[in-house]
Amino acid sequence: MEKVYFTLTGTEHYYGSEFLEPGMKVQLEKEPENKYDKEAIRVEIEGLGRIGYVANSIYTVAKLKF
């Protein structure tokens, strides 16, 4: 399976982010019924469920510094 990199946001509303490690497998699910963002993509981990969302705004996407 192809690797995909994305910014995960909203973790503070669920389980935090301390347990996350690079390379962990997650499941991405579109969430069109989300009343705040019809383009929302939910991030889940087996056994925990929802852990946050894929960042989709210039305010929440990680800024890269070179």
Domain boundaries, the chain: 8-54
Higher pLDDT, 53 or 6: 53
What is d(CA 20, CA 55) in angstroms, rounded to the nearest whole number?
Answer: 16
What's the predicted TM-score (pTM) here? 0.80
Q: Which of 14, 9, 13 is nearest to 49 (CA)?
A: 14
pLDDT digits (tens, 9 = 90+) for 3-48: 778 889 899 999 999 999 888 899 999 999 999 889 999 999 999 9
